[in-house]
Structure 1
C-alpha cells in the first residue's frame, strides 16, 4: 500500500490498537505513529490540525479521517480501501 498513514497515538490507548489492527487488516504495511504522550508539543500540533483532543487521530494521505469510530464507519461504508489505494 502506497498511501501514507499517520496516527497520533499514546502507549496505552485501546482504540489506537484497534485502529492499527483494522488498518493492517486492510493492507496497510506501515503506520507513522506520533506518540503524543512522549512529546507534548505534538499533542498541541494534533489539536491544532484536527480540533480534537482524543487519540487516535488518523490521517490517510492528506485526509483527516478522525478517530477509531470514524475509521470503522468509513470501512463499513466501503470507503476505507479505496482511500488507501489512492
Structure 2
C-alpha cells in the first residue's frame, strides 16, 4: 500500500476554500477516519487545494474525498475537494 507522506492534491477547490498561503488545519480522507494535522493552501495558478500532511497516511488515492477542518475546536469544515493525486512527499492536491 503506498504511503502518502505529506503531499496530496485535490481538484475543484470550492470558492470558499482556505485563503491562498499555507494554513494549519486538520485533513480527513476517510469517512470514519480522524483528521490529521496538515498545512493546506489553494494554488493561485491551478485553483487546486494542496495539503501537506504532518502525519503520513497509507492508501490515499485519487477519487477520495478530502475534507479540511479548522476553527478553534477543529470541528468547522473549511473546504471539501476530491483528491486528484497523492505523493510520498507529503503533499496532496484536491
TM-score, with structure 1 as normaliser: 0.28
Higher helix share goes to which structure? Answer: 1
Larger Rg: 1
Q: Which has the higher contact order (CA 8 A, sep 6+)?
A: 2
Higher strand share goes to which structure? Answer: 2
